[in-house]
Amino acid sequence: MKCINAVFVCIGFLFSNTIFAEEESLEKEHGIPGGSLMIQLSPENNDDRSSVLGMEVQANFLISESFAFGVHGMLQEQKYGDIAPTRLGYGASLNYYKQLNTMTPYIGVKKIYYEEWISKTQDALDCLYCSNVLQSYEGDESFATMGVNFGNWIIQLDKRISDNGSKLTESANDPWGVGASYYNNYSNVPDPDIILSIGIPFGKL
């Protein structure tokens, strides 16, 4: 729920930033952006893939006239069957940009590592029947990326090219013996096949 709220705040920021940008300039220069802020979403989950809703921040560092090294951070709510963990992602990418007259398309490869956003999701002192609930999440995946920078907007598709899967464990224990006690272990949780990202670029390299 915290992730969803953060996404809506981010959406509001994107729209307000675009309105102010259009008031200042009708045509923003495209090219290799210094960074970007994007909303991420994917299709419905099934037995072979999960779905995500989140946001991603990317910072670029110029390698040559057409290549840039990207550093990524993201916060996502992942849904797969009955589980919906909130996860933190971080990683790096290598991207090739081709500047055209009205846009700058790009392709690249990206490696992302995942871990839990909050390890303790509930405390036994929160309520009478509450337990200490601990969550652990780990995984990594590789993606092929293609996108277009229009100046005011960026649209991007990430296609998963690895099949590593992630591992989620959740345990509950109440030291007073009133709340629930359990241990759940989910292995090989698949990432989405495709992630769509829409956002705004910052600066130009």
CATH number assigned to the domain comprising residue 107: 2.40.160.20
Is residue 150 one of the residues assigned to a domain? yes
Is residue 124 one of the residues assigned to a domain? no
Is residue 167 one of the residues assigned to a domain? no
Structural domain containing residue 72: 2-117+145-161+194-202
Instruction: Tell me the pTM.
Output: 0.82
Is residue 74 one of the residues assigned to a domain? yes
Segment 140-198, tens digit of pLDDT: 999 999 999 999 999 999 999 999 999 999 999 888 888 888 999 999 999 999 999 99
Is residue 183 one of the residues assigned to a domain? no
Encoding tokens for residue 111?
A: 């490696």
Segment 112-155, tens digit of pLDDT: 999 999 888 888 778 878 888 999 999 999 999 999 999 999 99
CB 111 within 8 A of CB 87: no
Contacts of 24 (CB under 8 A, 6+ apart): none
Helix, strand, coil percentages (3-state) for the chain, rounded to 5, are 10, 55, 35
What's the one-letter identity of residue 137? Y
User: Predicted confidence band at 28 (pLDDT cuts at 50, 70, 90)?
Assistant: low
